[in-house]
């Protein structure tokens, strides 16, 4: 019986380690934000990876002066390579879930190294006009994330929204591209898309 308990604890520990390792880009990003002992709130629903993929690509528009289509926004070249982006899209795009927020696949404390996190449902997060009053005794930094996906076998990419309990509005939706340097994931480029809220 004692051996079964030890085996169970080892399996539990390993599964938590793997989860945190899969989310190492987000954990390293949070560490880089120097949140320290500050209280953090994370929207428990994950942002759909389709958002990450779309913002990465950017937008194409027809430019009459050059008489051709040009790319705007998104990750800049030379980091953006269409064939590599298509490979990432093929691997990570959700063809069945098109909503911005993914339900029933929530963030939990097992996903993060930082333990002073309050998880909050997106539907209950205050939006001016919907709630007259939303009081916290303490100041919280608020984040929302997609799961990390990988690009060109070298980069991690995820979507992030950031605000605080004073502003109470999730800010611009942006993506971050990170590269592993000296054992830590470091932001090398980002892109914002004002269309996503």
Q: pLDDT higher for 193 or 127?
A: 193
Class of residue 160 by CB neighbours under 10 A (exposed 0-12, middle 13-18, buried 19+):
buried
Q: What angle, 0 to 180 degrees and rounded to 10, lies between the N-to-C axes of helices 82-92 and 49-57?
A: 170
pLDDT, tens only, 47-67: 999 999 999 998 878 888 888
pLDDT at res. 153: 93
pLDDT, tens only, 173-188: 999 999 999 999 999 9
pLDDT, tens only, 81-129: 999 999 999 999 998 888 999 988 899 999 999 888 889 888 877 655 5
- Establish how many alpha carbons lie within 13 A of residue 116's alpha carbon, considering only the half-sphere containing its beta carbon: 12
Is pLDDT of 138 > 60?
A: yes
> Which pTM does this prediction carry?
0.81
pLDDT at res. 187: 96
Spans of all domains in the chain: 2-193
pLDDT at res. 20: 63
> Do 85 and 71 contact (CB within 8 A), yes or no?
no
pLDDT, tens only, 1-60: 555 544 444 444 444 444 568 899 999 999 998 877 788 889 999 999 999 999 999 887
State the sign of the Cα–Cα–Cα–Cα dihedral 65, 66, 71, 75.
Answer: negative
3 state DSSP class of 108: coil
H/E element holding 45?
Answer: none
pLDDT at res. 9: 43
């Amino acid at each position: 019986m004692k051996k079964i308990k030890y085996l169970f604890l080892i399996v539990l520990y390993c599964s938590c380690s793997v989860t945190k390792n899969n989310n190492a880009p987000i954990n390293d990003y949070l560490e880089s934000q120097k949140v320290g002992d500050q209280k953090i709130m994370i929207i428990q629903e994950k942002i759909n990876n389709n958002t990450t993929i779309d913002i990465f690509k950017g937008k194409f528009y027809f430019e009459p002066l050059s008489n051709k289509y040009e790319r705007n926004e998104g990750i800049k070249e030379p980091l953006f390579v269409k064939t590599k982006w298509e490979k990432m899209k093929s691997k990570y795009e959700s063809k069945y879930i098109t909503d911005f927020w993914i339900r029933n696949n929530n963030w939990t404390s097992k996903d993060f190294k930082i333990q002073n996190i309050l998880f909050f449902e997106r539907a209950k997060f205050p939006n001016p006009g919907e709630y007259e009053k939303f009081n916290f005794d303490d100041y919280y930094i608020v984040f929302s994330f997609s799961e990390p996906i990988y690009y060109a076998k070298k980069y991690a990419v995820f979507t992030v929204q950031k605000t605080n309990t004073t502003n109470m509005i999730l800010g611009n939706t942006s993506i971050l591209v990170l590269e592993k340097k000296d054992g830590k994931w470091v932001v090398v480029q980002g892109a914002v898309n004002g269309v996503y809220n």
